[in-house]
Amino acid sequence: MQIKRRLKLGVLGSGKGSNFKAIADAIDAGRLDAEVCIVISDVETAGILDLANTRHIRAEFLPPGRFRTKLEPEAELRLVELLREAEVDLVVLAGYMRMIKVPLLEAFPSRIVNIHPSLLPNFPGLAAWKQALDAGAKITGCTVHYVDNGMDTGPVILQAEVPVLPGDTPESLHARIQIAEHTIYPAAIAKVAGSAGK
């Protein structure tokens, strides 16, 4: 008899950790059969590390080095080491502001997921909600997708639409997109967990 084990998650984040909190809350509520084994940030003062500590989840700061948009090669290798030590099945990017490079992509092929605040392939890259407003879009949203070596180009797992309302500012639109993110990210991970169990 095969015993199904919970999906082990490693979460990478650079900010306050609202998506990590949504995932952890979904696990606590029994909506997601997974466990967060480690949280890693490239920002020493990131709120996501405080949230992990509060929940008694291993929290690690990884000094990123001299680059602004990626890790130093040595840091990238250390990141892989930390995730392997924690026996992670799926790497979850939750507001992680660095490009993922080959060592991590090779160590976790088709096992890295990200959430992006637009309906990809529309508006990849930074400040996607502002891009949507500037383009006059009537509908935007968020996308959970697998990570590949491009910028927000991996296969889509789940999307949610968010209407652009008259009078929306970048801040008001982003706030509503984040509410949708907090719903679909745990659902997308549950979907990945379900397909991994087959």
- Please state the φ and ψ torsions of residue 76, each to the nearest 5 degrees: -60, -40
Residue range 170-185: average pLDDT?
97
Query: Can you tell me the distance from the alpha carbon of 185 to that of 192, in angstroms, rounded to the nearest whole number?
Result: 11
In a domain, 37, yes or no: yes
The pLDDT of residue 128: 96
Sign of the Cα pseudo-torsion (117, 123, 125, 131, in order) = negative
DSSP code of residue 4:
P
The pLDDT of residue 62: 92
Domains contained in the chain, number: 1
Query: Can you tell me the distance from the alpha carbon of 134 to that of 127, in angstroms, rounded to the nearest whole number?
Result: 11
The pLDDT of residue 194: 81
Collect all residues with Cβ–Cβ distance below 8 Å to 25 and sequence separation of at least 6.
186
In a domain, 2, yes or no: no
Query: Can you tell me the distance from the alpha carbon of 72 to that of 58, in angstroms, rounded to the nearest whole number?
Result: 22
In a domain, 41, yes or no: yes
In a domain, 85, yes or no: yes
Q: Catalytic: which of 56, 116, 145, 182? A: 116
Reported as a single tens digit per residue, the pLDDT across 82-138 is 999 999 999 999 999 888 888 899 999 999 999 999 999 999 998 999 999 999 999
Alpha carbon of residue 40 to chain centroid:
12
Residue 69 pLDDT grade (very low, low, confident, very high; cuts 50, 70, 90): confident
* 195 or 167, greater pLDDT: 167
In a domain, 104, yes or no: yes
In a domain, 169, yes or no: yes
Q: Model pTM?
A: 0.93
H helices within 86-169, ranges in order? 102-107, 128-134
Give the β-pairing of 156-163 and 7-13: unpaired
Examine the residue annotation and report whether 116 is marked as an active-site residue of this protein.
yes
pLDDT(2) > 50: no
The tokens describing 16, both together, are 């306050």
The pLDDT of residue 198: 47
pLDDT(15) > 70: yes
Mean pLDDT taken over the chain: 92
Asked if residue 71 lies in contact with residue 98, where contact means CB atoms within 8 angstroms, the answer is: yes
Residue 157 pLDDT grade (very low, low, confident, very high; cuts 50, 70, 90): very high
Q: Residue 150: which of 76, 99, 113 has the closest Cα?
A: 99
Range of the domain at 88: 7-196
In a domain, 183, yes or no: yes
Asked if residue 54 lies in contact with residue 20, where contact means CB atoms within 8 angstroms, the answer is: no
In a domain, 64, yes or no: yes
